[in-house]
Structure 1
Amino acid sequence: MNRVSCAAKLAFKKVTHVIFDLDGLLLDTETIYKRVFSDIAKSHGKVYTPEIRAKVIGRVEEESAKVAVTEMNLPMSPEKFLQQYKSMAEQSLADVRVMPGAERLVKHFHSKQIPMAVATSSGQDTYDLKVAKHAALFSMFSHVVTGGSDPEVKRGKPNPDIFLVCASRFKDCPKPELCLVFEDAPNGVQAALGAGMQVVMVPDEQTDESLCKMATLRLHSLEEVKPELFGLPPLK
């Protein structure tokens, strides 16, 4: 995977604020989602393919369920799918791990007083479940926007709404171009770019290369982040 194109190098601009996605970026939830979605599909003789997964990840739960049911032609309603998914995933999500490099990066930005926020497609209840065992880490963020339940987020990713709302809730309300987004999903990358923000993508290894090209910068892991590329204090 080419980490960055020549065009993207020239496009790097200084930022002052950072917005993180949650699932698959800060927390290793996508492996749980993948397993549960695959198990539900298999029980109906269907396959949860990488192509379908690319359409699902990053969306609010209701939209993810609709896409999964439609794309796999499952004999159930999206509501039933979501109910079954939540039942199967609840315990695993309560014990979810932090992704490699995430804790170090968040602590670094916090120590340098870089304003940070989380913009997740999860609803508030699901978010609370996932972060319960990582309270100290998530207390370092100025705020969290839960797109699945926030009334101000009218449309989910890949629409830009969640990132624009998130930026507007920083105390100094920065312009979108001063915000750097960290994302793992193509839908999230599209949303961030639509909001007028630069976006560092850390895609799953199964994500098709063609879906990663639009990112400002692509990395294999948050362990590879060099904040100084965007005018932020470098990691020691």
Structure 2
Amino acid sequence: MTSELRDKYVLFDVDGTLIDAVSNQRRVWGTWAERYGLDAGDVYRVALRTRPMETFARVAPDRDPRECLATLHELEDEDVRTGVYAAFDGASELLHGLPAGAWALVTSNYEHRVRGRFLRTGLPVPGVIVDAVAVEEGKPSPVPYLRAAARLGAEPEECLVIEDAPSGVQAGLRAGMTVWGVNAAVAVEGVHRHFVSLREAVPHILALVSGDHGDAAA
């Protein structure tokens, strides 16, 4: 399908949207906490709400944050190699059903980990991945989503963002894009459309990209 026939591009968050990595993240942070003699539950509750460097400042202010980050990266890389991952129901059908060049991944993680997780779960990898290294400003800044759109050759108004988290939703909205929320019992504030599960959203996303606007909402 050529770009002239396509009027919607889809930009996906990864963790929590396409891949269920909650148990992996909990295990990684739990191991990290043990290494520093901290309570795993307390650390994980902070990590859920903050970025790693902010988490270290809160839970281990007397430690070198660079050392803390290196340890976390070591544990995350090991988890990608040995951990058990699962794609959300519908993810494979959805990604395989999208035209090449019509979609991208926008993640706060690192590309090599995303590729490892996709390999483990059998999901196809797109030509465009905007990761933590690709931009100086992460979500909720609009920069990651705007960078992905530019790399696809798309205008913001042509892009549909699929997200599960408030920071990602805000990033998509600030980029001037349509944002649909998935995998949450309650809609994240600001989303144009909400789906309790990714599976529920699959036919609507595919219909929008195919040009069947009778099933699309913005």
The correspondence of residues 151-230 of structure 1 with structure 2, limited to 5 A, is: 153-170=135-152, 173-203=153-183, 212-225=188-201, 226-227=203-204
Alignment coverage as a number of residue pairs = 201
C-alpha distance 15-125 of structure 1, shift in aligned 2 (>3 A): same
In structure 1, C-alpha distance between the alignment counterparts of 2:200 and 2:26, rounded to whole Å: 25
Q: Secondary structure at the match of 1:169?
A: helix
Q: Which residue of 1 aligns with 2:59?
A: 72
Q: Secondary structure at the match of 2:63?
A: coil
* Unaligned residue ranges in structure 1 (runs of 5+): 1-13, 57-63
Residue 90 of structure 1 is matched in structure 2 by 77
1:145 aligns with 2:139: no
Q: Contact (CA 8 Å) 2:12, 2:162: kept in 1 or not?
A: yes
Distance 2:129 2:24 in 1: 22
Question: Which residue identity does 2:95 align to in structure 1?
Answer: V
What amino acid maps onto 1:102 in structure 2?
A: A
Three-state SS of the structure 2 residue aligned to 1:231 is: helix
Could you tell me which residue of structure 1 aligns to residue 39 of structure 2? 45
Stretches of structure 2 that go unaligned for 5 or more consecutive residues are 1-5
Which amino acid in the other structure matches residue 220 of structure 1? V
RMSD: 3.0
TM-score (normalised: structure 1): 0.72
Could you tell me which amino acid in structure 2 is paired with residue 121 of structure 1?
A: S
Give the residue type in structure 1 aligned to 2:204.
P
Check if 1:103 corresponds to 2:67: no
Partner of 1:48, secondary structure, is: helix
**1: CA distance, partners of 2:47 / 2:22:** 10
In the TM superposition, residue 120 of structure 1 has moved relative to its aligned partner by 1.4
Give CA deviations for 1:60-96 in whole Å, capped at 9, x if unaligned. xxxx211211333554233222222233333332342
Task: Tell me the distance in 1 between the aligned counterparts of 2:140 and 2:89.
Answer: 25
Deviations for 1:121-171, whole angstroms, at most 9, x for unmatched residues? 22233333333335x6324x232122x222xx231111011110100011x
Name the SS of the counterpart of 1:156 in structure 2. Answer: coil
Indicate the structure whose relative CO is greater, using CA pairs within 8 Å and at least 6 residues apart. 1
Q: Does 1:126 align with 2:118?
A: no
Return closer, same or farther for 1:80/1:220 CA change in 2, 3 Å cut-off.
farther
Decide whether aligned partners of structure 1 residues 78 and 199 sit closer, same or farther in structure 2, where only a CA change above 3 A counts.
Answer: farther
SS of residue paired to 1:86: helix
CA contact (8 A) 2:98 2:206 kept: no
Instruction: Determine if contact 1:65/1:79 at 8 Å carries over to the other structure.
Output: no
Q: TM-score, normalised by structure 2?
A: 0.77
The question of whether the paired residues in 1 share the 8 Å contact of 2:29 and 2:43 is answered with yes
Q: 1:228 to 1:87 in 2, by over 3 A?
A: closer
How far has the Cα of 1:49 moved from its partner? 5.7
Distance 1:138-1:228 versus aligned 2 partners, 3 A rule: closer
